[in-house]
Structure 1
């Protein structure tokens, strides 16, 4: 049937094959795969054996990802964001003002402070990124400031170079369309 009438298998949704030689099993797998039919191949060796299930790959794309990779362009903030960040004093000792400063403002302000101290360069090495996180922590007044914790967790966004997010999307698109 495999060699003489391969279209015979298209009437089924599942094909179960037992004790077939490898060459026949590969042909049957190709036939079932092209027709999107599940192939269950079983082989026994006395009291032991194996079962393999083969089906055509089905790509699933998570429409609501758990983590959204946002690109805030913190390595090169737009003019209005810079002006807004400069209008807020992140060194203010008032606890209410300090706790309500958006983490993006903290990142922009401290990234500018970092760049001023490092010849206009943002943190790029692992050690520099660690030091940048320490700089953020040093500006905390209390350990329970969620905005500063969020700034520490998002500190990598300052050093993400332009084009990386586009490259990630291109690679994901190519991988999905090629399969």
Structure 2
């Protein structure tokens, strides 16, 4: 067998080099396109991982808040304040009105001091209403006032709406 002619060797060599360069160029283009797409996918994956972490933190926060709210709801709500409103305050002297409110608050402050729950006050509301309704308050000047209960609103602030009439 005889060796190929040098012109033929050069032609085959050029074809082989062109083939190899074509393969390398094709591989580079393929890698460029897929690497660009892979970068997009990796970036999206990291963004979603951060979003997932944020959402997990938010869920943990909301679960803790829900637990705290459940604990608060299960605790007994206690009486915090007593409010007395005189409906007909314009009919009596302002000093007398404040003295009557002060005396009634003194008589009812055990509800706050002993930490009565709103539920227990509601159960005994009739007793508290009788304590105030029809009560006679006497001052040093021998003036007497009768207290009539109109409304009793029970919550953390117990509100008594009363009317006061001077007895002759």
TM bin (shorter chain): under 0.3
Question: So what's the TM-score if we normalise by structure 1?
Answer: 0.23
Q: Max radius of gyration: which structure? A: 2
Larger helix proportion of the pair? 2
Larger strand proportion of the pair? 2
* Higher normalized contact order (CA 8 Å, seq sep 6+, divided by chain length): 2
